[in-house]
Structures are given as C-alpha cells and as structure tokens.
Amino acid sequence: MIEARGVNHIGIAVRSLAAHRDFYERVLGAIFEGVEEVPSQKVRVAFYRLGSGADPIRLELLEPTAEDSPVARFLEKRGEGVHHIAYTVDDLEARLRTLGEAGVRRIDETPRPGAHDMRIAFLHPESTGRVLTELCEPPGEVG
Ligand code: CO
C-alpha cells in the first residue's frame, strides 16, 4: 500500500542542534549537510549523512523554533530521542488517499512541504505500531 522505496531518514528530537553536533560529526563520523528551517513544522533541522553511495542514510535532528511546535511538545512529554522514521515513496498524494480509505490514521491528509524540497506527510502512531511515521516524496517525482 505504501510500497516504501527505502528509509529516507531517521528523525531525532533535540533541544539544541549545536549541543549534539560533536557526537554526530566527530564521534559517529557522519557528514554534516547543513541546517534548514521548516516553518510548516516549526522546527530547525540539521541533516547528517552516513555513507557515500547512491543511497546514504540520513539523520534529521529536529530543534523546535516555537513553544507550540509539535517537537517542543514531544520533548516535554518524552525528552530527547528518536522522533520518527521517514520512508521514501512516490505518488504521495495517491498513497495518502488509499491509506485513508483503508482506515489508516493520517496526521496529514494531503502532502505538505518538508525539508530538502520534499513533499511529506505524517501517519498517526496509533496506526503504525506507536512509531511516528513520515512519508517523503523527493522533488521531481510529483505526479
Ligand atoms: Co523527517
């Protein structure tokens, strides 16, 4: 139904991007790719890449930019840690429609803009074994 093509990234909630840079870059050896602000989620995200092949693994560190950011609420309730897993899909809009018809709870019923010019949507943890699940459609694959 989702037919995920792979794991796009793993999202990790943090209070401060700067505080974790040493671990990801120097200790883990990931490559820092930059910081981007995503107003639709009220977060600032730092991307790290692991591996140099065509399909690197990406980590997305999320720092809230407002107190009513969903990530701020997550940090309040659960503290820092793994926040979501994101899968690469194509035809996100149609996937969301099919999932809705199948009774899968969606946080986003239609795609919204995410980091890296991707279109994204979140599924509700109640329908995904308690793991917040993001679906990502990379740019250039719309339609
Ligand atoms: Co994400």
The pLDDT of residue 107 is above 70: yes
**Separation of CA 121 and ligand 1 centre (Å):** 9
Specify the pLDDT at position 55.
Answer: 74
For 21-62, what is each residue's pLDDT tens digit?
A: 999 999 999 999 999 998 888 999 999 999 877 778 899 999
Q: Which one-letter amino acid corresponds to residue 116?
A: H
Query: Are the beta carbons of 124 and 108 closer than 8 angstroms?
Result: no
Q: Which one-letter amino acid corresponds to residue 23?
A: F
Specify the pLDDT at position 47.
Answer: 96
**Separation of CA 86 and ligand 1 centre (Å):** 6
Which residue bears the tokens 């690197």? 56
The pLDDT of residue 141 is above 60: no
**Separation of CA 59 and ligand 1 centre (Å):** 9
**Separation of CA 26 and ligand 1 centre (Å):** 23
The pLDDT of residue 106 is above 80: yes
Closest CA to 125 of 138, 99, 107: 107
Backbone angles phi, psi at 41, to 5 degrees: -115, 5
The pLDDT of residue 14 is above 70: yes
Distance CA 124, CA 6 (A): 19
Q: Stretch 92-105: mean pLDDT, rounded?
A: 97
**Separation of CA 29 and ligand 1 centre (Å):** 21
Specify the pLDDT at position 3.
Answer: 93
Closest CA to 120 of 130, 104, 132: 132
**Separation of CA 9 and ligand 1 centre (Å):** 6
**Separation of CA 103 and ligand 1 centre (Å):** 23
